[in-house]
Structure 1
Amino acid sequence: MRKHKFILSILVAGTFVSYSQKVERNKLITVTNSLNIEREFETVSLSRVSLGLNPSDKLEQYGIKEIGTTDFLVSQCVDEDGDGITDVLLFQPKIMARSNKKLELIRTAAIPKASEIWCYSRFVPERIDDYAWENNKVAFRTYGPVAQKITEDKLKGGTLTSGIDAWLKRVEYPILNKWYAKASDGTGTYHKDTGEGLDNFHVGDSRGIGGVALKVDSVYYFSKNFTTWKTITTGPIRTSFILTYANWDAAGNKISEVKHISLDYGSFLSKFEIAVSGTKTLSTGITLHDNNGKTEGNLKEGWIDYWQPLDDSELGTGIVFPKNTLISYEKYMNSNKELCNLYAKLKVKNNKVVYYTGFGWKKQGEFTTKEAWENYLGLFAQKINNPITVKIK
């Protein structure tokens, strides 16, 4: 029987995958790191198509094992389109600088199941209608339509913003459910640090960390709260979800906005993939709070950041962009301090913008200086622009 070999290249979740399809089930996977730095906590995504699976094959029955060992890597299967069939298999290899690692895809019933859901997100009706997400390093939330209506009705307790809030955790274990529970049952508050961290990051009308806006002439316009949500996955490696916003007006420009947000294990930055129409550019920003910190940006590498004092510590916030998408950035000042943001202007390509946004808190321990935080952003930019390559045969 003749064998037809072909090469398919796709970019999924920051990983470049090329493969040569064959009929056997067990496949050799070679992951290659072209950079002169060690790679860790980067997610490889293998689709059913790239693995050459039959429609009846279940991804849950497959595992990834390093050749020469008996240990399986932690993996996660994701049903991305919600049809009840898992579409991709996720894993995170550790690869030394300028080297490769050989792995094997094996169909077996002995795949160990991860006991911890490190990457987690959910709708939070007990706190009006937040949507919140976290991994082992950071946590975030944003706000829904009920919180918006409460504010518009001039009642107490509402929140009107499409900005992104930061929850400053300093423990690796999950805290979202615990913090919300103690707030709802009256046994505590997440606005006070009792050893796990706290929410002392004010968003208000600002963009928080990574909210979007459109500048027309000298004014920035933006959406209100999200209107609908959909959780795609939670697990040991990734959580992802979709937030939809009502169409909004920017000086006569009718803008649509749908955010696909994901957060992977080990990362301080959430990935935002935003479907947008009505504009050829879009901005994203980070709040300047009291404007008592230092802003920085690097057009060549593709990142912006703000390092600021915050209560009894310091905080770095930042956004990283794929190459050839960042047009410019500006420190935008206004008499209303909640409208003061460090903005980045991005190209809209095929009705989409992509960026990575997050923070590093000094009390968490991994970024104790502005220079350390900016080094992380620069390395992150290198990695997304030089993704791990994967060959399957």
Structure 2
Amino acid sequence: MKLNLKPTLFLLGTLVLFSSFETKKQTSLGIVVKNALAMNRVDEVVSIQLKQLKKLTESYQDLLVKDEKGKLLVTQIVDTNLDGKADELLFQATVSANSSVTYTVFVDQDAQNKKPVSSYSTFARFVPERTDDFTWENDIVAFRTYGPEAQRLIEAGEKGGTLSSGIDIWLKKVKYSIIDKWYSNNLKTPGYYHIDHGEGYDPYHVGKSRGAGGTGIWLKDSLHVSKNFVKYRVIATGPLRAIFELDYDSWSQFGVKETKRISLDLGANFTKFENKIAANSKIPNYTVGITLHTEKGSVKLNAPKGIFRYWEPIDDAFVGEGIIMAPKQIVEAVNHHSSHPDQSQILVITEPKNDVLVYYVGSTWTKAGLIQSKEEWDAKLEKQEQIINNPLLIKVM
């Protein structure tokens, strides 16, 4: 008997064809980045949720990103919740005013060897060699704050301590990282980073003030503040974004506890604070401050826009500080004068939404060569306020 195999072969071929369609993965996706503002956005860090890229690969280390001209871009993969699984892909986008640009993310098995290396980077770390500071920086600015051992030394009456939950500013005029170098040299020569050796220095006094962006509770004409942070967690430190968290133990009559998630992008003057707040009872007047030091500078408060600025002389140059936050979080802003040391401050009294307060703290130094006047700093703050409130729109195609 002669068998007719044509129908069977046709069926098998059809199954194989459809099977290949079902298992074949895409090799690239378009990422459209839209700028709705009437100003150019240059080298702004954008974030893509990796779950949007599952069509490409489950091994996110194989991903590369290129611009419309085919140039490969620096990228960073971030595990935002420290669960061991990657969550976000970061890269820098440049988009002209009122326009959009399409980037391409694609799979390359040799991605690790082809990825461009950034000349500069963000950086954040715990610094046990200087008691227990926590310090962070990018190519433009640097900050630090203080840990539990620094607090213990003060409370025990021993040398080398610092009791403050204020935020210190370091002034740098080089793009490369200075944290490790300055601390290392400070071990050899105590006070090294308080002197400018050509890269910048730390002349900024915090004391009992809020420094630039520390928090407190404004109650009966007094600012009540926490002690030093008690725990830290580094979430990410890399070419494009540093992220970490600081925990503060219970303080004040309201039993306030804070976890501050702090992040800093490459190329930014502003570090982002996301403060999660818990308390035993309702907190009145949760406040963010900027020290006015000896009040020799110029204050500008713009609560309707959520912009607060201080421009002051320090040694032979000028330093600008600023806070930006959503106006809906603001109750009142005060230029507070005091005869007590470190207590003259800009105080921004807030009403956090859902027990979270988000704000941005920025600084600039005229010797860094980027901004030379308070008018330029005001313009920078205004521009940053627009950027914060009008994020680039991302669509994965």
TM above 0.5: yes
Aligned amino acid, residue 196 of structure 1: E
Partner of 1:381: 385
Q: Does residue 28 of the first structure (1) align with residue 39 of the second (2)?
A: no
Q: Does residue 310 of the first structure (1) align with residue 314 of the second (2)?
A: yes
Aligned amino acid, residue 303 of structure 2: L
Percent identity reads 38
Which structure: larger Rg? 2
Q: Does residue 331 of the first structure (1) align with residue 332 of the second (2)?
A: no
- Judged with a 3 Å threshold, the aligned counterparts in structure 2 of structure 1 residues 212 and 188 are, in CA distance, closer, same or farther, namely closer
Please state whether the residue corresponding to 1:309 is helix, strand or coil.
Answer: strand
Q: Which has the higher contact order (CA 8 A, sep 6+)?
A: 1
Contact residue 73 and residue 116 of structure 2 kept, 8 A = no
Please state whether the residue corresponding to 1:190 is helix, strand or coil.
Answer: helix
Partner of 1:88: 88
Q: Distance in 2 between matches of 1:364 and 1:371?
A: 16
Partner of 1:366: 370
Q: Distance in 2 between matches of 1:311 and 1:90?
A: 38
Partner of 1:103: 103
Q: Distance in 1 between matches of 2:175 and 2:133?
A: 22
Structure with a larger share of its residues in helix? 2
Please state whether the residue corresponding to 1:320 is helix, strand or coil.
Answer: strand
CA displacement at 1:281 relative to structure 2: 4.7
Cα deviation digits, residues 349-373 of structure 1 (max 9, x gap): 1110000102111111111111100
Note the 1:262-341 alignment, pairs <5 A.
262-278=263-279, 279=283, 281-341=285-345
Partner of 2:255: 254
Note the 1:1-393 alignment, pairs <5 A.
24-52=26-54, 57-67=58-68, 69-108=69-108, 109-110=110-111, 111-116=114-119, 118-186=121-189, 189-249=192-252, 252-278=253-279, 279=283, 281-393=285-397
- Judged with a 3 Å threshold, the aligned counterparts in structure 2 of structure 1 residues 53 and 143 are, in CA distance, closer, same or farther, namely farther
Q: Distance in 1 between matches of 2:43 and 2:153?
A: 40
Q: Distance in 2 between matches of 1:53 and 1:216?
A: 54
| Runs of 4+ displaced beyond 4 Å | none
CA displacement at 1:74 relative to structure 2: 1.2
CA RMSD for the aligned pairs? Answer: 1.7
Q: Distance in 1 between matches of 2:291 and 2:189?
A: 30
Contact residue 202 and residue 208 of structure 1 kept, 8 A = yes
- Judged with a 3 Å threshold, the aligned counterparts in structure 2 of structure 1 residues 152 and 188 are, in CA distance, closer, same or farther, namely closer
Contact residue 286 and residue 343 of structure 1 kept, 8 A = yes
CA displacement at 1:61 relative to structure 2: 1.3
Please state whether the residue corresponding to 2:196 is helix, strand or coil.
Answer: coil
Give the number of aligned pairs.
368
CA displacement at 1:186 relative to structure 2: 2.6
Contact residue 121 and residue 239 of structure 2 kept, 8 A = yes
Please state whether the residue corresponding to 1:182 is helix, strand or coil.
Answer: helix
Aligned amino acid, residue 173 of structure 1: Y
Please state whether the residue corresponding to 1:271 is helix, strand or coil.
Answer: strand
When normalised by structure 2's length, the TM-score is: 0.89
CA displacement at 1:286 relative to structure 2: 0.6
Q: Distance in 1 between matches of 2:123 and 2:273?
A: 16
When normalised by structure 1's length, the TM-score is: 0.90
CA displacement at 1:174 relative to structure 2: 0.8
CA displacement at 1:347 relative to structure 2: 2.1
